[in-house]
Amino acid sequence: MNRYVKHQTARLNALWGVRNVHFVRVSGFDALEGTQDLRTGIQLATLLGKGARFLRGNERDWFGSSDLYLGVASPISYAALDLAGEARRDEDGNWDGMLAHGVLLCT
């Protein structure tokens, strides 16, 4: 019991991103007879937030997250990489709530 710590945080966030994405229409990938659009290009999104007590939060922590997508496609092949991660740093400088995941697709 009491495995998780209670947080009451309100944050001011800054967002930044870059996106240069296009789509390639292909058939025979997921649907044998249908067509689909495959995302190609690059996309990067980041978020950085600071806990603010004046917004009725109890903490002045830092939170950050980022997501990166890279994709290339042709009518007969496709490759994509999608990586994401997030973490929280409390007022004492300890990191917690860290999570990362990724997907690599090749066809």
13-40 pLDDT, tens per residue? 999 999 999 999 998 887 777 888 999 9
Residue 69 domain boundaries: 11-106
The distance in angstroms from the start CA to the end CA of the chain is 45
Q: For the chain, what is the domain count?
A: 1
Q: Check pLDDT > 80 for residue 42.
A: yes
- What pTM, to 2 d.p., does this model score? 0.81
Residue 2 has pLDDT above 80, yes or no: no
Q: Mean pLDDT of all residues in the chain?
A: 90
Instruction: Say if 25 falls within a structural domain.
Output: yes
Tens of pLDDT, residue by residue over 8-20, are: 788 999 999 999 9
**For residue 1, is it within any domain?**
no
Q: Is residue 2 part of a domain?
A: no
**Token representation of residue 13:** 């966030």
